[in-house]
Amino acid sequence: MDLIVHPAALVNHVLPYDQLFGPNVLGTAELIRLAVTSRIKQFTYLSTVAVVFGSEAAADEAADIRTACGARDLDSSYANGYAASKWAGEVLLREAHDTFGLPVTVFRSNLILAHPRYRGQLNIPDVFTRLVLSLMATGIAPGSFYARGTGDGTGHYDALPVDFTAQAIASLGDNARKGYRTFNVVNPHEDGISLDTFVDWLVAAGHPLTRIHDYDEWLDRFETALRGLPDRQRQHSLLPLLHAFARPEKPLSGSALPADQFRAGVRAAALNKENDIPHLSQDLITKYVADLRSQRLL
C-alpha cells in the first residue's frame, strides 16, 4: 500500500463534537497510525470548508491550521460539532507531517451535489436534497433566500457535483508525493447562480412553486407545511435542519473561501474540456426532482 484516501466520516450537522469524536477524530488517528507503520504512505484527507469558518487566516490554502486556528469553541451553532471534528483531523495530520514526514493532501469540500448522469443516486439526508424535496412538497419558496442590501453581490451557491469532486481528489491527491497541501474544493465562479436561480430553474421546468416575498412569513408557512407532510416525506424533509434557514443568507458574489491553489491544480491536471472548475447547471438541479421521484419521495 502506498496511498490512503480517507473520506470516511460520520457526517452530521446536528450531533455535538463528543458524539463525533470517535468516528471522525479517533478514526483519523488510527489511519495515521497505519500510514506511518512499516513505511510512510501518502495520505489524502477529505475535510470540510467549515473548519475555517470564523477564522479568516485559516482559509488560506497555504496556512498551517495549528497556528491559523489554534483552538475552536464548542457551541450550539450550525454544524459546529462536525466542523470541530474535521478541524481536529487536520491538526492531527499536520502533526504527523511534521513528526514523520507524512505526505498529506487535504481537500476541504463545501456541499457535494449529486452525479449529473446516474439516475436516483442521491445523498438523501444532506441539506440540499432535503431543501429541494421540501420546496417541491410544500410548493412554496421565499422571494429570495438572500438578505437584500447587504454583502457583495446577489447570491451564489457554493457547491460542486460529485463526479468532478471525486475526479479532482483522485488526480490531485495522487500527485502529492511529498509535502503538505491543502485545497479549498469550492465553486469560485462569480456567475450569479444561487438558490434563487435554482427556484427559477425549477419553475421554468414546469414545477409549481409560489414565492412568498416576506421571508419570515415564508419560513412560518414552510415549517407548518413540513410538519403536515406524510411521515416518509417529513422524515426526509428540511425540518431537522430548518434552523440553518432561520434568516436570509448574506449574499456573496462567489465562494467565501479562496481557491487559487485548487483552481491551478484543476487546470494543470486538465480534468475536463473546460479546463476549469465547472459551473452548476439547470440540468443538474432539475434532475434532483426526477431522482426524488425515482425514490418515491415526490
d(CA 268, CA 260): 12
d(CA 274, CA 296): 35
Containing H/E element for 46?
strand 42-48
Residue 22 pLDDT exceeds 80? yes
In terms of Cβ atoms closer than 10 Å to its own Cβ (0-12, 13-18, 19+), residue 227 is exposed
In terms of Cβ atoms closer than 10 Å to its own Cβ (0-12, 13-18, 19+), residue 116 is middle
Could you tell me the pTM of the whole model? 0.89
Q: What is the pLDDT of residue 153?
A: 53
Residue 173 pLDDT exceeds 80? yes
Least confident interval from 84-88, 112-116, 120-124: 120-124
Residue 152 pLDDT exceeds 90? no
Q: What is the pLDDT of residue 79?
A: 87
Average pLDDT over residues 249-271: 90
Distance of CA 69 to the CA centre of its chain: 20
Cell numbers standing for residue 39: 513505511
Q: Are 186 and 262 in contact (CB under 8 A)?
A: yes
Q: Average pLDDT of the chain?
A: 93
Residue 195 pLDDT exceeds 80? yes
With a pLDDT cut of 70, the percent of the chain lying above it is: 98
In terms of Cβ atoms closer than 10 Å to its own Cβ (0-12, 13-18, 19+), residue 42 is buried
Q: What is the pLDDT of residue 54?
A: 78
Q: How confident is the model at residue 271 (pLDDT cuts 50, 70, 90)?
A: confident
